[in-house]
Amino acid sequence: MPLEPSVIRQQFPSLDRQAVFLDNPGGTQIAKQSLDRINRYLLECNANHEGAFATSQQSDAVLHEAHTAMADFLNAASPDEIVFGANMTTLTLHISRSLARNLGPGDEIVVTRLDHDANISPWLLVAEDRGCNVTWVDFDVEDYTLKLVDFEKALERKPKIVAFGYASNATGTINPVRKLTKMAKDAGALVYIDAVQYAPHGPIDVGAIGCDFLVCSAYKFFGPHVGALYGKLELLEDLKAYKVRPAPDTPPGKWMTGTQNHEGIAGVLGALEYFEWLAGGFADAQKNSLSEEGFIGRRRNLKAAMTAIRAYEFELSRALIEAIQVVPGTHIHGLTDMKRLDERVPTVSFTLEDKHPRELAEALGKEGFYVWDGNYYALAVTERLGLEASGGMVRVGGVHYNTLDEVSRFGEALKKIAS
């Protein structure tokens, strides 16, 4: 199913300007369907939970549908396995606190140096509080992939928790999550996956992966600033949640204590309906998704949309790498082998000789190309590469609403600035 960028871009009102958004790894632009859901929620059913009146009941129906749609997106077994929260970081700190209750002095936790700090610091804090040991898994500085030998050695210590990312928000590397999960589960560990960077780029199937927890954020896949967590139902049921007394004792409510960002959660539903539209989904996605036929159809459509996005973005990755490589003095910190594009997302970080990353990002911004600089909270990556003290890296990231023409123009701007 080939994508048509000109048609796709019409679904993103923010793109109607001269700027080229290559800051997507830090947050994508929002789809019209998501905006519509937010507006409709606030205008038609803005109320709190479980009231005996119409707007409250309508609100509960929309929020339940968002849980169902997110379960479809991740191929979870039940909507009750989906927990919404402020963002991935907040959700991880929340869950890690509950998991810490079952840990004690000498227990082992595994983290990796390829991760965003939101999937590192919560576990370091748990270790500090509970007297646990932390084993770090390194990455290869030549091809920017996890060292599987190190990972295997870490598992010999029989860790209780293993945390790793689906894709690196700094180097773009996609980890072999199914393989890593099986290895960790065979060693008796709980597996916690940060899928924030991967979620906008390809299909996710938590059942096939076999992980215990997986987290992502809707503002990285064309929705609002809301985080979403998948957890195996038996774990969400058994673990103690830190909550107020009147809050539900069953998931997902026990993990969503306090009034949530209801309009934001409605916006998540809209973002997923955008993917349905992208797949040529149902004429009335909301109506059909409430039926059994629609339930099956939505999962099929969401997978088809993400598969099509993945295929389109291979060319974006290729084009971004080539545009940077031809500029003298640049160095890409990530996979550049064109035969291994299936091992990365189109998130490309690089440095330019004699140019501070902030200076380069500012110069590109003046040319109308929005990019990030620094460490993007992947502190362990920039420290491992010895780049933290010199300002980190410049990061450009494409998504499926970006065009090859935009990448070409970015390359020309980079050449101009570098010379």
The side-by-side arrangement of strands in the sheet containing 82-85 is 82-85, 227-231, 213-217, 190-194, 161-165, 108-112, 133-137
Locus of tokens 């992966």: 209
CA distances from 40 to 59, 226, 334 (A): 11, 17, 42
* Model pLDDT, residue 289: 43
The rounded percent of the chain whose pLDDT value lies above 70 is 96
Q: Which domains does the chain have, with CATH numbers?
A: 5-29+312-418 (3.90.1150.10), 33-289 (3.40.640.10)
Q: What are phi and psi of 329, to 5 degrees?
A: 90, -5
Q: Is the peptide bond before 252 cis (omega within 30 degrees of 0)?
A: yes
Please state the rounded mean pLDDT for residues 151-172.
98
The rounded percent of the chain whose pLDDT value lies above 90 is 94
| The three-state (H, E, C) secondary structure of 3-59, written as one string | CCHHHHHCCCHHHCCCCEECEHHHCCCCCHHHHHHHHHHHHHCCCCCCCCCHHHHHH
Using 50, 70 and 90 to split pLDDT, how confident is the model at 3? Answer: confident
The mean-pLDDT minimum among 2-11, 312-321, 358-367, 406-415 falls in 2-11
Dist CA 336 CA 344 (whole Å):
9
User: Residues 51-60: pLDDT tens digits?
Assistant: 999 999 999 9
* Model pLDDT, residue 296: 62
Residue of 231, 256, 252 lying closest to 242 (CA atoms) = 256
* Model pLDDT, residue 287: 44
Please state the rounded mean pLDDT for residues 61-66.
98
Dist CA 280 CA 2 (whole Å):
12
Q: Is residue 214 helix, strand or coil?
A: strand
Please state the rounded mean pLDDT for residues 162-184.
98
User: Residues 128-161: pLDDT tens digits?
Assistant: 999 999 999 999 999 999 999 999 999 999 999 9
* Model pLDDT, residue 285: 41
User: Residues 108-128: pLDDT tens digits?
Assistant: 999 999 999 999 999 999 999
Q: Residue type at 77? A: A
Strands 369-370 and 347-352: unpaired
- Structure token pair of residue 214: 């997986």
Q: Is residue 259 helix, strand or coil?
A: coil
* Model pLDDT, residue 262: 98
User: Residues 198-249: pLDDT tens digits?
Assistant: 999 999 999 999 999 999 999 999 999 999 999 999 999 999 999 999 999 9
